[in-house]
Amino acid sequence: MIQIGPYSLSLDDPLTLIALIGAGVLLLIVILLITAVRAATRSARMTEPLAQQMSQLGQRVQGLSDGQHQLAGGLNHVSEAQAASQSHMLQLMEKRLAEVGNQMTENLQGSARRTAQSLGDLQQRLQTIDKAQDNITKLSGDVLSLQDILSNKQTRGAFGEIQLTDIVTKALPSDSYTLQATLSNGKRADCLIHLPNPPGPICIDSKFPLEAYEALRRAKTDWELNEAAKFLRTSVKKHLRDISEKYILDGETADGALMFLPSEAVYAELHANFPELVREGFAAKVWIVSPTTCMATLNTMRAILKDARMREQAGAIRRELGLLFADVDRLGSRVENLDRHFHQAAKDISDIKISADKAGRRARRLDNFDFEELAPESEPALPAPHEGLARKG
């Protein structure tokens, strides 16, 4: 039992118990509220610096936010500038790339054209080389054929005769020479030139000492060179002697003959290194000629033949000149007669014109004649026709 003032409460009573508990709880709540208020007051006093710091921190955060906004604006400006710069750079790069592409295209086209032209020129040169190669091959075959021809004495002699015939036919008229002419001693010359006396017909014989010349060219030692030189001297001397004995005949041919060498190289070798052979030919009255000097000699002979024929025809020329002078004199006489006839005809025409003028004047006077006003007069007698003609004549 609890005694509270005038009231007494029993703990065994539930209502009392609940009331006590409720009162205690209420008291506890009041105490807690007072304590909380005190704590809140202390907390408020304690949190005032923190609030100030939080305010300052908020200001700083606001400043940071403003700076962030400014930074964002600057970043946007930088981004836009960078984008514009990148766009300009891209355009410039595209332009440069287009120019480089065009230049590369032009260079490639130019290179292609030059390459095509070079290939065309190369092809033409290759074709020229092929033609030259074909010509060289053909020439090699001709050289081999020529070697085959020159390796045989008979064919070599025929080669010299053909070359001599070609030169003679080109240099002289056909009636001034005879090929393969047979002389009174039975010897046959390759060509006989019909020159007038003096000097008379002159013989040309073709000789070709090829073996001796080739031996001289192939010589490598002094002994081989001396042997080849002896061989060449012997061969040329034999040819000179044969021509002098066979083709120089008193009263039939000239007192000299020509030895035709169909090779300029052999001719040059003789004159360069064997002048004694040339002098020996002069002594034997046998003159050595090459194709070139033979053509010059034949042209000289052509002039001699022309001069001789002019002298032979001198009498006929004089006779023809006399007849020409007579014809010219006769022509002059006939021209004088024709001129005289022209003068007479001109005079006759002038007289006819005078008579015609007189007749015209008379006809005009008759046409204008007035018979009424004309006084009777005696007309003069007209002359007889033959008398008028006589006076005019």
CA distance from start to end of the chain: 223
How high is the pLDDT of residue 15?
65
How high is the pLDDT of residue 387?
45
The average pLDDT across 125-141 equals 72
How high is the pLDDT of residue 140?
53
pLDDT tens-digit series, residues 176-207: 888 888 888 888 888 888 888 878 888 988 88
Percent of the chain with pLDDT strictly greater than 90: 0
pLDDT tens-digit series, residues 297-345: 888 888 888 877 777 777 777 788 788 888 888 888 888 888 888 888 8
How high is the pLDDT of residue 386?
43
pLDDT at 390 over 50: no
How high is the pLDDT of residue 67?
76
The average pLDDT across 78-104 equals 82
pLDDT at 267 over 80: yes
Domains and CATH numbers, the chain: 152-310 (3.40.1350)
How high is the pLDDT of residue 145?
45
How high is the pLDDT of residue 393?
40
